[in-house]
Amino acid sequence: MKLNTIRRASLALLAAALMATGAASAADAGSAPEVRALHVLNRLAYGPRPGDVERVAQMGVQRWIDQQLHPETIPLPADLDARLAALDTVNRSAGASLAEFLELRRDVRMDDEGAKQRRRETQMRVARQAAEARLLRAVESPRQLEEVMVDFWYNHFNVFAGKGIARALVTSYERDAIRPYALGSFRALLGATAKHPAMLFYLDNVVSSAPRPDAKGKARGLNENYARELMELHTLGADGGYTQRDVTELARMLTGWTFDQKRLARTGETFRFDAGRHDAGAKTWLGRAIAPAGQQEGEFALDVLAMHPATARHVSRELAQYFVSDEPPPSLVDRMAATWQASQGDIRAVLAMLFASREFMDAGSVGAKFKTPYQYVVSALRASGVQVANVGPLVNTMNQLGMPLYGCQTPDGYKNTQDAWLNPDALTRRIAFASALAGGRLPLATVPADAPAGPLDPARLQATLAGSISPRTLGIVQRNPDNLRAAMLLGSPDFMQR
Residues 6+ apart with CB under 8 A from 100: 122, 168
Residues 6+ apart with CB under 8 A from 25: 467, 468, 469, 470, 471, 494
Q: 261, exposed or middle or buried, with CB in 10 Å at 0-12, 13-18, 19+?
A: middle
User: Is-above-0.85 flag for pTM?
Assistant: yes
Using a pLDDT cut of 70, give the percent of the chain over it: 91
Contact (Cβ atoms closer than 8 angstroms) between residue 373 and residue 421: yes
Q: Confidence class of residue 213 from pLDDT cuts 50, 70 and 90?
A: low
**H or E stretch covering 26:** helix 24-28
Output the pLDDT for position 104.
Answer: 93
Quick one: average pLDDT of 370-375? 98
SS3 272: strand
Q: What is the pLDDT of residues 440-464, one digit of tens each?
A: 999 998 665 555 667 999 999 999 9
Which of 412-425 are b and which e, b meaning 16 or more Cβ less than 10 Å from the residue's Cβ? Answer: ebbebebeebeeee
For residue 173, the number of C-alpha atoms closer than 13 Å in the C-beta half-sphere is 29
Taking alpha carbons only, the member of 364, 354, 358, 363 closest to residue 323 is 354
Q: State how far the Cα of 326 lies from the Cα of 396, in Å rounded to an integer.
A: 27
SS3 89: helix
- Find the distance separating the first CA and the last CA of the chain, reported in whole Å: 27
Contact (Cβ atoms closer than 8 angstroms) between residue 29 and residue 35: yes
Output the pLDDT for position 215.
Answer: 58
Q: Confidence class of residue 274 from pLDDT cuts 50, 70 and 90?
A: very high
Is 323 a residue whose pLDDT tops 90? yes
**Which neighbouring-strand residues pair with 208?**
221
Output the pLDDT for position 212.
Answer: 73
Contact (Cβ atoms closer than 8 angstroms) between residue 489 and residue 477: yes
Output the pLDDT for position 21.
Answer: 38
Quick one: average pLDDT of 183-190? 98
Q: Confidence class of residue 9 from pLDDT cuts 50, 70 and 90?
A: low
Could you tell me where the DSSP H helices lie in 69-220? Answer: 78-85, 88-91, 94-109, 115-140, 144-156, 170-172, 186-195, 197-202
Q: State how far the Cα of 492 lies from the Cα of 475, in Å rounded to an integer.
A: 12
Residues 6+ apart with CB under 8 A from 115: 104, 107, 108
Output the pLDDT for position 28.
Answer: 40
Is 477 a residue whose pLDDT tops 60? yes
Output the pLDDT for position 16.
Answer: 45
Is 22 a residue whose pLDDT tops 60? no
Q: State how far the Cα of 138 lies from the Cα of 133, in Å rounded to an integer.
A: 9
Top-confidence residue, 326 or 8: 326
Q: What backbone phi and psi angles, to 5 degrees, belong to 444?
A: -90, -20
Q: Confidence class of residue 72 from pLDDT cuts 50, 70 and 90?
A: very high
Output the pLDDT for position 314.
Answer: 98
Q: What is the pLDDT of residues 94-136, one digit of tens each?
A: 999 999 999 999 999 887 778 899 999 999 999 999 999 999 9
Q: 281, exposed or middle or buried, with CB in 10 Å at 0-12, 13-18, 19+?
A: exposed
Output the pLDDT for position 134.
Answer: 98
Quick one: average pLDDT of 20-24? 40
Is 24 a residue whose pLDDT tops 90? no
Contact (Cβ atoms closer than 8 angstroms) between residue 143 and residue 81: no
Is 313 a residue whose pLDDT tops 80? yes
Residues 6+ apart with CB under 8 A from 296: none
Taking alpha carbons only, the member of 467, 380, 366, 324 closest to residue 34 is 467
Q: What is the mean pLDDT of the chain?
A: 92
Contact (Cβ atoms closer than 8 angstroms) between residue 464 and residue 483: no
Quick one: average pLDDT of 366-394? 96
Top-confidence residue, 337 or 467: 337
Is 469 a residue whose pLDDT tops 90? yes
Q: State how far the Cα of 236 lies from the Cα of 241, in Å rounded to an integer.
A: 8
Contact (Cβ atoms closer than 8 angstroms) between residue 73 and residue 67: yes
| C-alpha to C-alpha distances, 154 to 101, 162, 312, 354, 362, nearest whole angstrom | 22, 15, 18, 20, 28
Q: Confidence class of residue 178 from pLDDT cuts 50, 70 and 90?
A: very high
Strand-pair category, 257-258 with 272-273: antiparallel
Output the pLDDT for position 199.
Answer: 98
Which value, in Å, is the radius of gyration of the alpha carbons in the chain?
24
Q: Which H, E and C letters describe 308-363, residue by residue?
A: CHHHHHHHHHHHHHHHCCCCCCHHHHHHHHHHHHHCCCEHHHHHHHHHCCHHHHCH
Q: State how far the Cα of 40 lies from the Cα of 139, in Å rounded to an integer.
A: 16
Q: Determine how many CB atoms are found less than 10 A away from the CB of residue 293.
A: 13
